[in-house]
């Protein structure tokens, strides 16, 4: 697996939210043009859109809860 790190931000309750694009990059996902499409199979309660700080200012990005991240990564972890 490539050595990449995923950004993590807290939700309103302090629970971690993982930036979906970062998780995809970490597992070597090649098509990052439509992150929303790539995570569409993740249940709605396990994903959201959050404002993520970047060098260019805050950006709206797809994020996954811990459960959503595990659900998304499941097929890759089984390999």
Closest CA to 73 of 47, 39, 44: 39
pLDDT value of residue 60: 96
At 13 the pLDDT is: 96
| pLDDT at residue 1, rounded to an integer | 45
Sequence ranges of the domains in the chain: 8-77
pTM: 0.85
Low-confidence ranges of the chain (pLDDT < 70): 1-4, 79
Contacts 24+ apart (CB under 8 A), 30-38: 35/61, 35/62, 36/62
Per-residue pLDDT, 3: 55
């Amino acid at each position: 697996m490539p050595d990449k790190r995923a950004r993590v931000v807290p939700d309103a309750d302090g629970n971690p939210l993982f930036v979906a694009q970062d998780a995809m990059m970490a597992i070597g996902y090649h098509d990052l043009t439509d992150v929303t499409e790539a995570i569409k199979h993740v249940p709605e309660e396990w994903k959201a859109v959050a404002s993520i700080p970047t060098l260019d200012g805050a950006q709206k990005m797809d994020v996954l809860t811990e459960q959503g991240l595990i659900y998304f990564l499941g097929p890759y972890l089984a390999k």
